[in-house]
Structure 1
């Protein structure tokens, strides 16, 4: 550690930023470390450029920092994470009245070389769920399955592993076992509760042949529904609904997150419901939303 580092810590409010991330935002230690690392890296760069405190930071200085990272050969996804961390840092400084304006406001994260699946619109979601085959005896199961995927933002692996004891329809909550065995509680909306109740009352008893091991969603042989089974059911619905986009089970999860944010949900709540360990993973949906706004502007504004 050099003699300058403690001064940088104080001048750039980094200790207070760490407390904010842990106590106020409740982020995981791993996420806190990542955000602090990026804030410290930028603070050191700012000092090297003659800027001794956050109030002197400009948008151009931030751009220069990101350009330097890109010039070092860092991946676009890494630079994008830096952008998300710095946005969080400068939002904190605004709240703390350490700066008067946010120089990170116009920063755009670079494309990370991978695109999200298409997000379905609300009418497309309604058409998809409503495209069950009324002649099929498993129609209530299929509807309940789609309602849970979209209504709770579940991964397909989480859906097929779901057991009855993990679903509380009275409390409108489902306990989900996500990646790495981590558990989270996700609200179950009215439409999903109604569809699941109908499935449990009318269809699942006929499917259950004593081999379900307590799983909620079963196939025609009475065994837990597989991920491939979910894919096949979804594909039939997509075809019947006449949706031309490429739709996967994960598309419904992306649609869940995007529609929540479009409706005004805060990022931390969506992160919790999705089970993301790092909020920068959730923040990609805000980037999708900005891209959509730009497309609308280009398409409909006379000078777009």
Structure 2
């Protein structure tokens, strides 16, 4: 009976927590779903170990061992640990608990992975294979060069508009994470092809306009 009451209390606080993070503007639905999944796994662990009292640091250490024993990667373990940190911090802020069991619990050490990347000449060789007299190929070449030459994220590239490109100043304005704006110099390799793209685009728009007038 006592165990059932404690699990009911956990579920109640868990739902309140999810409502809280769902109301935050910077938290996506996918993030909320990930937190929910992580917390339910922890709840199942508590049930499996027949833990009916308050959660302690010793329980957290056992949980970390449980996750590692199930062959989860250090990165995944740390993400689940981050979910618990956020949850128990919320409980502490709401005066639901006095001590945070995650205090002084260190993240699992993750192996350093050296990212793989293309050399400059490899990128230029790939772009040179495209027929830039074709509008679609020219667009594809610009996509590759903007990503590589300007260091843009895919989301930043997708959100670029014609108004972000300033050929006179030789720069582009990028809106990044959390609407942060940054100005990036335009590499020489992009300048000529950007001019060609704008010329092709204007020509296509003019033809479309004339075609509409002749209807």
Return the TM-score normalized by structure 2: 0.56
Q: Is 1:101 paired with 2:70?
A: no
Q: Which residue in 2 is equivalent to 1:211?
A: none
**Cα deviation per residue 1:228-269 (whole Å; 9 max; x = unaligned)?**
xxxxxxxxxxxxxxxxxxxxxxxxxxxxxxxxxxxxxxxxxx
* Alignment gaps of 5+ in structure 2: 116-149, 167-172, 195-215
Are the aligned partners of 1:218 and 1:224 in contact in 2 as well (CA < 8 Å)?
no
Q: For 1:74 and 1:100, how far apart are their aligned partners in 2?
A: 31
Q: For 1:7 and 1:49, how far apart are their aligned partners in 2?
A: 14
**Cα deviation per residue 1:103-157 (whole Å; 9 max; x = unaligned)?**
102122212323588xxxxxxxxxxxxxxxxxxxxxxxxxxxxxxxxxxxxx813
Greater RCO between the two (CA within 8 Å, min separation 6)?
Answer: 1
Q: For 1:221 and 1:101, how far apart are their aligned partners in 2?
A: 56
3-state SS of paired residue (2:104): coil
3-state SS of paired residue (1:51): coil
How far does residue 224 in structure 1 lie from its aligned partner after superposition?
Answer: 5.5
Q: For 2:29 and 2:190, how far apart are their aligned partners in 1?
A: 45
Q: For 1:223 and 1:32, how far apart are their aligned partners in 2?
A: 44
* Alignment gaps of 5+ in structure 1: 118-154, 177-182, 197-215, 226-304
* 1:88-127 → structure 2 map (5 Å cutoff): 88-115=86-113
Q: Which residue in 2 is equivalent to 1:23?
A: 23
Q: For 2:84, which of 86, 99, 108 is the aligned residue?
A: 86
Larger radius of gyration: 2
Judging changes above 3 Å, is the alpha-carbon distance between structure 1 residues 222 and 23 closer, same or farther for their aligned structure 2 residues? closer
Q: For 1:220 and 1:45, how far apart are their aligned partners in 2?
A: 56
Q: For 1:184 and 1:93, how far apart are their aligned partners in 2?
A: 27
Q: Which residue in 2 is equivalent to 1:157?
A: 152
**Cα deviation per residue 1:46-76 (whole Å; 9 max; x = unaligned)?**
23333336xx111110010110110111111
How far does residue 26 in structure 1 lie from its aligned partner after superposition?
Answer: 4.5
Q: Is 1:11 paired with 2:10?
A: yes
Aligned length: 148
RMSD, aligned CA:
3.5
Q: Which residue in 1 is equivalent to 2:62?
A: 64
Judging changes above 3 Å, is the alpha-carbon distance between structure 1 residues 8 and 116 closer, same or farther for their aligned structure 2 residues? farther
Q: Which residue in 2 is equivalent to 1:237?
A: none
Judging changes above 3 Å, is the alpha-carbon distance between structure 1 residues 98 and 156 closer, same or farther for their aligned structure 2 residues? same
Are the aligned partners of 1:11 and 1:52 in contact in 2 as well (CA < 8 Å)?
no
Q: Which residue in 2 is equivalent to 1:185?
A: 179
Return the TM-score normalized by structure 1: 0.41
Judging changes above 3 Å, is the alpha-carbon distance between structure 1 residues 58 and 221 closer, same or farther for their aligned structure 2 residues? closer
Q: Which residue in 2 is equivalent to 1:128?
A: none
